[in-house]
Homo-oligomer: A and B are copies of this chain.
Amino acid sequence: MKNSIRDNEQRKAGIPTIKRLPQYLRILKDLEKQDVETVSTTFLAQELNIEPIVVRKDIASTGAEGKPRIGFTTKEAIKKIEHFLGWDNVTEAFLVGAGNLGSALMGYQGFQNHGLKIIAAFDKDDKKIGQEIHGIKVLSMEKLPNLAKRMHIHIGVICVDAEHAQEVSDIMVEAGIKAIWNFTPVKLKTPDDVVSQKEDLSSGLAVLSVKLASKLGFVDIEEV
């Protein structure tokens, strides 16, 4: 990731804060479109249904400074959050597995606003190789290692079946990829210098199922 301008001030935040930052960003960008110049902590807190103190701490951790009775300057808060997340620079990424989910991710325009641009997809299926999905070329899996090294790609997205996830991860790591976005249910084993983030739809469905059962009185969800 091109973070060259980012290392002058060391910032600190917890995972829950990091997960909320894109939500503030979305609201702030909506306000910016409507030419709203400042935004109060209270407004953000109400929109997201969280405590104002949490909002204040979250945004402060990115370096944006709120003023009493005025709040945050919309533009400055956007800039600081994007900078904190490294989303002010677009990073190029490779995706492996051009099936349904892979195609959906390739077509998802939002990622570019979030600093991620999928520039090539890879698959083992001869029928998919050579095709273009949402303007992104699908290449043979064998081409990944050389291309990743030559183009200095550091982010990989894995959308293959669970049984091939670790194999694809190993190939990515060998090719110099340092961050893996994992859309399979498999917990990948990667070296210490590689980070990964798993998107597990079954976890979300589990929470929804239990929330519903809890509403119906079958289960208790503990507050943590």
Chain A residues with CB under 8 Å of chain B are 1, 3, 6-7, 10-16, 18-23, 26, 47-49, 84-87, 99-101, 103-104, 107-108, 110-111, 114-116, 134, 154-155, 162, 178-179, 181, 185, 187, 193, 195-197, 199-224
Contact = CB atoms under 8 A, between A and B. Distances in A.
A114 B205 contact: yes
A57 to B, nearest CB: 11
Give the number of times this chain occurs in the complex, counting copies.
2
Contacts of A211: 179, 195-197
Contact of A1 (B115, B116, B209, B224): B209
Contacts of A103: 100, 104
A202 to B, nearest CB: 4
Of A15, A47, A111, most B-chain CB atoms within 10 Å: A15
Contact of A22 (B115, B116, B203, B219): B203
A222 B204 CA distance: 24
A110 to B, nearest CB: 7
Given A197-B211, A215-B193, A19 B224 contact: no
A213 B179 CA distance: 10
Of A47, A203, A210, most B-chain CB atoms within 10 Å: A210
A215 B178 CA distance: 9
